[in-house]
Every structure is written in structure tokens, then in C-alpha cells.
Amino acid sequence: MIVKTRRFGDLSIEEQDIITMGGGLLGFEDYTKYVLLDHDDKSPYKWLQSLENPELAFVVMEPFVFFPDYQFELSQNDIKELEVAKTEDVAVLVILVIPENPREMTANIKAPLVINMHKMKGKQVVLNNEAYPVKLYLFQKK
């Protein structure tokens, strides 16, 4: 299928590359179909592009790059909903906010995206851990 996007132009997307985000993302609940695109080969950043809204694309990354001790447990309901059989099938991503000054970039580690890459099913999980904020600076503020 060909998908029109504002940022990437026309994209040719294979059916097996479509991620269905159950319930959508916070604030964007109406959009549930996405594709994950590499920023470039050497970058830890990726793009989560909506297939239903050409304007909607999020910069995401694996949180472990900046936060190696980041961990949480999925509820049994989440495991069932995502059809997780093996932890190796699960990718964890966090949404980044990149302001004009990239040194002030933040990650939302309070509500990670959990994706079963084998089934291409995902959801945004809001964690009850108070140590994980919605806006965590990736670089120390000076």
C-alpha cells in the first residue's frame, strides 16, 4: 500500500510492517495504525508514522540507550492483549519531544510504547511508578 505522509512523502508499506496500537496513543486515540521507520542507520532514533493521519509522526527510541536500568512489568491483561509469548518478541519505545534546542530533548518514560514485534500489536502503557516522569531530560540541563 502507498501512504502519503507530510514528513516522508509517499511511503510504500507492506501489510506485515503495520503495527496496530490498541487504543491508540494518549491524545491520539483515534489513530491505531502505524509503521516504524529508521531515522538513519547509525541513530538510536526512529519515527512512528501514523498510517491514518499524514501529519502525525512521533520520534521514538528504545529507552535503554539513555536509561539502562529502566524496567517495568506488564500486567497479565497487557500480556494477553498483546499476545506476548516470549519477552524477546517485545520492543519497548518511548516518545521523545525535541524542542528547538536539542539539548533540552525529553523522553516520556511514564508511558512507554510496548510492541509485540512478532504479532505487530502494541499499546501505550501508563506506569504507576512515580520515579518515571512524563518529561525526563536525556541530557543534563546546564
pLDDT, tens digit (0-9, with 9 covering 90-100), for 72-93: 999 999 999 999 999 999 999 9
CA-CA distance, 48 to 71, in Å (whole number)?
A: 22
Residues sharing a CB contact under 8 Å with residue 44, sequence separation 6 or more, in sequence order: 61, 62, 65
pLDDT band at 42 (very low <50, low <70, confident <90, very high): confident
Express each pLDDT in 1-29 by its tens digit: 899 898 888 999 999 999 999 999 999 99
2-137 has which fold? BH3618-like (2.30.290)
The whole-model pTM stands at 0.92
Q: Where are the domains of the chain?
A: 2-137
E runs forming strands in 1-142? 2-5, 9-12, 19-21, 33-38, 45-50, 57-61, 90-97, 106-116, 121-124, 136-137
